[in-house]
Structure 1
Amino acid sequence: MTEADVRHAHEGKGVTAAHEQGTIRQAHEKDCGAVLSIFNHYAVHGFAAYADKPVRERYFTGLLKNAYAFYVVDSPEGVLGFGFVKPFLPFSAFATTGELSYFIMPEYVNQGFGSLLLYRLIRDSRTKGISMVVAHMASWNEEGIRFHRKHGFYDAGRLKKVGKKFGEPFDILLMQKAI
């Protein structure tokens, strides 16, 4: 799905499987349990989240308070995923750079929800004066790396063996995209 396809579906001019199954809406306090459940799945089952044990409500509260934009994918089945953009660094020198992240329930991956979230976050980032977005991920997170490259992110650097999870050292891959 290209950004144009995602934009087209998001604007209601077309229909995609993701658009039919879920809607993007602002995250609210009531979403805390669902967001933590999704994030904690990745914390204990893979490299998409850096955490190696479940996080608590403070993680969610921090996002709700500090993110420029924080959305969930809502559906009749409940929250299927979430995404946010937050300040890259807390200094005015980086005011035009945002850091993106998103997590989709495993059974809904590769159905367009990540693309819808990405497009919405980029759109909102532009309205806040952000012109560059960055993402970083564990080198073992091959699916995340492919997703970002597919959406026009390029490799911007690599921090070698800075993390260790499940007894495995990993690199952090930095990626960015001008918006």
Structure 2
Amino acid sequence: MDETPEVQVRPGTEADLTALTSIYNHYVRETAVTFDIEPITPEQRRPWLLSHPEDGPHRLKVACETGSGRIVGYATSSPFRPKQAYATSVEVSVYLSADAGGRGTGSLLYEALFADLRGEDVHRAYAGIALPNEASVRLHQRFGFTYLGTYREVGRKFGRYWDVAWYEKPLGPAD
């Protein structure tokens, strides 16, 4: 008997802010997945959440367990760079709660995110992956991302330098 809760994906809302911040702060404190060094408060995270509306190229998708409603992960598409010529490119990422890996939740989140982006004026998606992170590399390859290159020792956290591999996925009417 499978005891893994079913997960549904929906747009993120302001009511999700505390849970999303908690998931993110796990990665801040425990991993080099993000290069933020200090945990953040929900109030500090609010502008980030509000920059991801239900429509447009910058989205926030949230995975919730059916029944309990517990948020177990999220995926975003965010501006790739601030200059206007980059407007048709997005940077995407997935964060899962510490106990949600290996259940297909990241795939469900990316399926929903990329389905939403099909109707938007987005040409390319990029993902930076702090290495090593085989699970993230596999997820991105499964979704058609190709390896572009690695920034060597680009970030310092936990007293050491980390590499970041960059991946790219073409987007458009066929995706």
Give secondary structure in 1 for the equivalent of 2:99: helix
Structure 1 residues 6-21: aligned runs within 5 Å: 21=6
- Which residue of 1 is the match for residue 161 of structure 2? 169
For residues 107 and 57 of structure 1, the distance between their equivalents in structure 2, rounded to whole angstroms, comes to: 21
73-82 or 56-65, which moves further after superposition? Answer: 56-65
After superposition, where does 1:1-179 map in structure 2 within 5 Å?
A: 21-67=6-52, 68-75=58-65, 76-77=67-68, 78-179=70-171
- Listed as ranges, the gaps of 5+ residues in structure 1 are 1-16
Contact 1:70 1:82 in 2 (8 A): yes
Distance in 2 (alpha carbons) for counterparts of 1:71 and 1:59: 20
| Letter of the 1:23 counterpart | Q
- Normalized against structure 2, the TM-score is what? 0.84
Aligned residue pairs total 162
CA drift at 1:58:
4.5
- What is the alpha-carbon distance in structure 1 between the residues aligned to residue 96 and residue 46 of structure 2? 19
> Which shows bigger deviation, 56-65 or 125-134?
56-65
Stretches of structure 2 that go unaligned for 5 or more consecutive residues are 53-57
Local SS of the residue matching 2:36: coil
Return the TM-score normalized by structure 1. Answer: 0.82
Counterpart amino acid of residue 154 in structure 2: V
Q: Cα offset for 1:57?
A: 2.2
When residues 137 and 62 of structure 1 are mapped into structure 2, their CA distance, relative to the original with a 3 A threshold, is farther
Q: CA deviation at 1:62?
A: 2.5
Q: Percent identity?
A: 28
2-structure distance, mates of 1:177, 1:87: 15
* Cα deviation 1:66-105 (Å, max 9, x = unaligned): 2311121112331111111111112231222111011111
Measured on the aligned residues, the alpha-carbon RMSD in Å equals 1.9
Aligned letter for 2:74?
Answer: F
